[in-house]
Chains A and B, each alone.
Chain A
């Protein structure tokens, strides 16, 4: 069984986000890392290939400046190869264009039995890219997967719903988006990290994939204004001395809820 995982490479979420003053897009310079949200997909893919007893995991990623460090992390976890789409023309691309690029990269890899993305990325969280890819690739899809297995060539998924979950079955090939926590991502071993250095990553442009228009030209939207929201007034912050519960009781009394 062959699986392709979408891996987004993002600025370290621990660092405070900022907007580029010129373009009003998220700043994505500096070193990028593998989005945690996609580490679950990579792990899921490795486990499914393992359970199938053969096949490989490939990666597709679209990122600026030929960035591969996040891809290398996924390769160190055990993926075999990757396609990186890096192209200055892609700056400002909307979710639909991103999906077109990634879908074209999936085709370039010859497709797979299963394509995996995350329910949403940590920095952009549009939450639409995988489902858009499924439509572009003409595949069935199961979004918000919180448990995944393949039994007798059929995909079985527990799909998160607002108040529980649905059991869903689906024929392969298919696309799924996985939720955080679906599996426990492994830490790359030293051996894995060394091996990752020599695993193939093909770098291509939007033109190589035949996708046009891209970037600002392809986005059916433009940022028209950025403002600061009204800040909340700072409240009273007190150190607990064993009696602060009384403060809370008083606060609740004032609001007449007790």
Chain B
């Protein structure tokens, strides 16, 4: 079927579109020549969004309202006004999921999340979802009429500039939200980080519960900094409060595809693997030779992190 009109839920961080946004725009423009970027806030990023393929920007300023209900309500008003997109692409993250969920009810359409690919054949629009840690790929085809709502994991597509002109910006007002608009942000807390960003670093050193205690994470940080990489973590130690959520790699955390991923004291649960299996080279240190992480490791050391890491750090320091 022809995709005559695609909307992409776009996000801006520090004044520039996020990498996930540029990935989705790149894919969208390969499926349709009519791509609109939906943005929470103003249209200041229209030039960058246009460069990657958006022809229009719908800018929705939602103030202190959480984006989910506010942006979905504004989009519903556009659809009620007579414009029906065939497909709406979302990033698989907090804001994307909330907007998509609210909108799916407002227009009574299904959602398919956690995708890594999409194709449009004569038979319909099909998305691909990895399950069981990425070992099995499920293809699902939308049935009935659109809009089709689909969310994609980060790094599913390569972002490439189209050299496009700045997109034309239209401001869309948020309708009266009634009781649903009661949730408001009263303060924003941002964690300061230094060094390369986890999802952009060339080398990632990630620690897990095998480190034994929170203070041992210092070894992971030291190794990461010696290699000019970024430290990461399994969910087990995020939940335990050893490190902030922004360190988490996996299904509910970041997707990383560095040149080298070093997993330290991480078992390799399926939910962790979907976030790091795409790394070019994987090194694992784990004292259990049966740990699933060894199934994807290029170099696996069966040993105690407290013995291997200090020696490795010493050796690298001496260089």
Binding site for B on A (CB under 8 A): 16-17, 19, 24, 94-96, 99, 119-120, 125-132, 134-136, 138-144, 146, 159-171, 174, 180-181, 219-229, 231-240, 242, 244-249, 251-252, 255, 257-258
Say yes or no for B130: interface residue by CB 8 A criterion.
yes
Contact B227 A168 (CB under 8 A): no
Residue from B191, B282, B316, B319 in contact with A163 in the complex, judged by beta carbons closer than 8 Å? B191
Task: Say whether B289 contacts A220, CB under 8 Å.
Answer: no
Stretch at the interface among B81-89, B133-141, B161-169: B133-141
Is the beta-carbon distance between B319 and A258 smaller than 8 angstroms? yes
Contact B252 A244 (CB under 8 A): no
Query: Provided the pairs A232-B277, A235-B297 are in contact, do residues A160 and B245 lie with their beta carbons within 8 angstroms?
Result: yes
Docked pose: A234 CA to B295 CA in angstroms: 6
Query: In the complex, which of the residues A96, A159, A224, A258 has the most CB atoms of chain B within 10 Å of its own CB atom?
Result: A224
Q: In whole Å, how far is A255's beta carbon from the nearest beta carbon of chain B? A: 6
Expressed in whole angstroms, the Cα–Cα distance for A232 and B284 within the complex equals 14
- CB B172 to nearest CB in A, in angstroms, measures 19
* Residues in A neighbouring B185, C-beta threshold 8 A: 159, 166-168
Main secondary structure of the interface of A (DSSP, over half): mixed
**Nearest Cβ on chain B to A207's Cβ, whole angstroms:** 19
Instruction: Tell me, in angstroms, the Cα distance from A249 to B68 when the chains sit together.
Output: 47
Determine the main DSSP class of B at the interface with A: mixed
**Identity of the chain A residue whose Cβ is nearest the Cβ of B64 in the assembled complex:** A168
The reply to whether B294 and A168 contact each other, CB–CB distance below 8 Å, is: no
Stretch at the interface among B27-35, B52-60, B174-182: B174-182
Q: Which residues of A are found within 8 Å of B37, using beta-carbon distances? A: none
Contact A240 B104 (CB under 8 A): no
B98 contacts chain A at the CB level, 8 A cutoff: yes
Please encode chain B, from 260 to 297, with 1 for each CB lying within 8 Å of some chain A CB and 0 for all others. Answer: 10100000000000000100011100000100001111
Partner among A135, A180, A231, A233 whose Cβ is within 8 Å of the Cβ of B69: A135
Shortest CB–CB separation between residue A15 and chain B, in angstroms?
12
Asked if A181 meets B238 with Cβ closer than 8 Å, knowing A95-B110, A220-B143, the reply is: yes
A194 nearest CB across to chain B (Å):
31
Question: Which residues of B have CB within 8 Å of A225?
Answer: 126, 138-139
Among all A-B residue pairs, the 5 with the closest Cβ atoms:
A240-B303, A220-B110, A131-B101, A181-B239, A235-B298
Interface pair A220/B131, CB less than 8 Å apart? no
Which single residue of chain A is at the shortest CB-CB distance from B287?
A240
Per-residue A-contact encoding for B184-214, CB less than 8 Å = 1, 0 else: 1111111101000000001100000000000
Q: A219 contacts which chain B residues (CB < 8 A)?
A: 110, 143
Asked whether, in the complex, the Cβ of B97 is within 8 Å of the Cβ of A127, the reply is yes
User: Considering the chains assembled together, what is the distance between the CA atoms of A131 and B260 in angstroms?
Assistant: 37
Contacts of B302 in A (CB 8 A): 237-240
11 additional contacts, CB 8 Å, given A240-B303, A255-B260? Answer: A95-B104, A129-B101, A131-B68, A168-B184, A220-B143, A224-B140, A225-B138, A225-B139, A229-B130, A229-B135, A233-B298
B105 lies within 8 A of A136 (CB)? yes
Residues on the B chain within 8 Å of A19, using CB: 136
A136 to chain B, nearest CB (A): 6
